[in-house]
Amino acid sequence: MNVLGIETSCDETAAAVVADGGTVLSSAVFSQVPLHRPHGGVVPEIASRQHVEHLPRMLDEAMAQSGLEWSHLQAVAVTYGPGLASSLLVGLSAAKALALRLNIPLIGINHLEAHLYSVFLARNAPRYADACPLVALIVSGGHTCLVRVDAPGQYRRLGQTIDDAAGEAFDKGAKLLGLEYPGGPVIDHISALGDAGRIAFPRTRVLKADFADGLSPALCFSFSGLKTSLLYYLRDHPEAVREPVLKDVAAGYQEAIVDVLVRGAQRALQRERVQTLVVAGGVSLNRRLRSRLLDMAAGLKVSVLLPASSYCVDNAAMVAGLAGIGQGITGEAAWSLDACPNLEIGG
């Protein structure tokens, strides 16, 4: 089945065509990062306007790359949440119009579920169903959570951040250090040149999780205290925003974030007694995180599945791929879908 995917949940405008859930025929992405960089973060109004302007071109590019005609498509899949409401609506409107015009099914896809599926787009990846049960660590600018997956579509949330997401912690930390947006890749680069052990930042432990029934405090995350610690450190050491100290501060800050994520993933694997860890989302690009997770998994004798770099960031191939294996909202329910900015996974 040839599925056209559309992704407009935040600041990437993307379209892709995927055959049978795993063969990526095309993937076109327009990144708005240069437009949001002067503002230090994503501006919702700018994001939605850019989606309106560039989505038609991404659709044309995706179809041209795929070598298919519009008549060869069997379904249109689109992200309906979570994300920015105004951005989601652009993709939803376009998807409904296309599906109606082509007289093919419309499929609504959860953005977080799509990120999880992104690891299964790799050529050497196992089938999603065969990899289950598994624990997934989803880490991005807006979300940080641990999820148990017993089968495709069967999710149980184990833990989540109680304040900032990991990606948000990277971006806010970079801003405090005077680095450009987005901060994650910049800190990743600078940290490779620094000494992570020179400046120690706190690793916050969540002691109570009454905010969400059924979640273990040991599997929840908190990054707001770390950000505050960096703020106070820079207040007391103003020279830290300059070389040669800057790279050590960045490395220590990154290590604290990575340490918290790795410990959470390890506890989840041990508690759930599964043999596979999936890591997905924009922060999964971080080299230190990848290295630490691989080392941890080797010690536990479990496997780690990581997405290709092109599928770590928001893209439409993961949307079309997930729809291609029979996941997502279909039928009349899909046609009545509205944007769901606060949609969760496994809740």
Query: Which pLDDT tens digit goes with each residue over 262-277?
Result: 999 999 999 999 999 9
Q: Is the residue at 318 inside a domain?
A: yes
Statement to judge: residues 153 and 256 lie in one domain: yes
Non-local (6+) Cβ contacts of 286 within 8 A are: 170, 184, 188, 254, 258
Two tokens at 228? 């505050």
Q: Is the residue at 342 inside a domain?
A: no
Statement to judge: residues 101 and 21 lie in one domain: yes
Instruction: Measure the CA–CA gap between 59 and 68, rounded to whole angstroms.
Output: 12
Which of 31-40, 73-82, 140-149, 210-219 has the weakest average pLDDT?
210-219
CB 327 within 8 A of CB 108: no
Q: What own/partner pairs with CB < 8 Å and gap ≥ 24 does 186-190 have?
A: 187/250, 187/253, 187/254, 188/254, 188/285, 188/286, 188/287, 188/288, 190/246, 190/247, 190/250, 190/251
Instruction: Measure the CA–CA gap between 231 and 177, rounded to whole angstroms.
Output: 9
pLDDT above 70 for 309: yes
The predicted structure's pLDDT at residue 267? 98
Statement to judge: residues 148 and 287 lie in one domain: yes
Average pLDDT over residues 302-308: 97
The predicted structure's pLDDT at residue 209? 56
Average pLDDT over residues 328-344: 97
Non-local (6+) Cβ contacts of 92 within 8 A are: 78, 80, 337, 338, 339
CB 342 within 8 A of CB 82: yes
Q: Is the residue at 274 inside a domain?
A: yes
Range of the domain at 69: 2-117+312-335
CB 106 within 8 A of CB 76: yes
The predicted structure's pLDDT at residue 112? 98
Q: Is the residue at 340 inside a domain?
A: no
The predicted structure's pLDDT at residue 314? 97
The predicted structure's pLDDT at residue 144? 97
Sheet holding 134-139, edge to edge: 154-160, 144-151, 134-139, 276-280, 303-305
pTM for the full predicted model: 0.95
The predicted structure's pLDDT at residue 106? 99
Statement to judge: residues 20 and 53 lie in one domain: yes
Q: What is the DSSP letter of 320?
A: H
Q: Is the residue at 197 inside a domain?
A: yes
Statement to judge: residues 87 and 135 lie in one domain: no
Q: Is the residue at 198 inside a domain?
A: yes
CB 212 within 8 A of CB 160: yes
Q: Which among 13, 229, 226, 275 has a CA at the least distance from the CA of 5? A: 13
The predicted structure's pLDDT at residue 212? 54
Instruction: Measure the CA–CA gap between 155 and 133, rounded to whole angstroms.
Output: 10
CB 253 within 8 A of CB 201: yes
Instruction: Measure the CA–CA gap between 286 and 295, rounded to whole angstroms.
Output: 15
Statement to judge: residues 8 and 145 lie in one domain: no
What's the number of domains the chain is made of? Answer: 2
Average pLDDT over residues 114-124: 95
Statement to judge: residues 137 and 41 lie in one domain: no
Instruction: Measure the CA–CA gap between 28 and 61, rounded to whole angstroms.
Output: 6
- pLDDT for 185-228, tens place per residue? 999 999 999 999 999 999 988 877 555 557 889 999 999 999 99
**Confidence grade of residue 157 (pLDDT, cut at 50, 70, 90):** very high
The predicted structure's pLDDT at residue 316? 99
Statement to judge: residues 180 and 221 lie in one domain: yes
* Integer-rounded Cα radius of gyration of the chain: 20
Statement to judge: residues 90 and 172 lie in one domain: no
Please report the DSSP string for 179-216 in residue order: PPSSHHHHHHHHHTTS-TTTS----------TTSTT--
Instruction: Measure the CA–CA gap between 16 and 92, rounded to whole angstroms.
Output: 15
The predicted structure's pLDDT at residue 124? 87
pLDDT above 90 for 299: yes
Q: Is the residue at 341 inside a domain?
A: no
Instruction: Measure the CA–CA gap between 334 and 323, rounded to whole angstroms.
Output: 12
Instruction: Measure the CA–CA gap between 344 and 347, rounded to whole angstroms.
Output: 6
The predicted structure's pLDDT at residue 346? 87
pLDDT above 90 for 336: yes
Non-local (6+) Cβ contacts of 225 within 8 A are: 202, 204
The predicted structure's pLDDT at residue 34? 95
CATH number of the CATH domain containing 268: 3.30.420.40
Statement to judge: residues 110 and 224 lie in one domain: no
- What 3-state class would DSSP assign to 4? strand
Average pLDDT over residues 227-252: 94
Q: Is the residue at 345 inside a domain?
A: no
Statement to judge: residues 301 and 317 lie in one domain: no
Non-local (6+) Cβ contacts of 238 within 8 A are: none
The predicted structure's pLDDT at residue 178? 95
Statement to judge: residues 320 and 285 lie in one domain: no
Which of 81-95, 157-171, 208-222, 274-288 has the weakest average pLDDT?
208-222
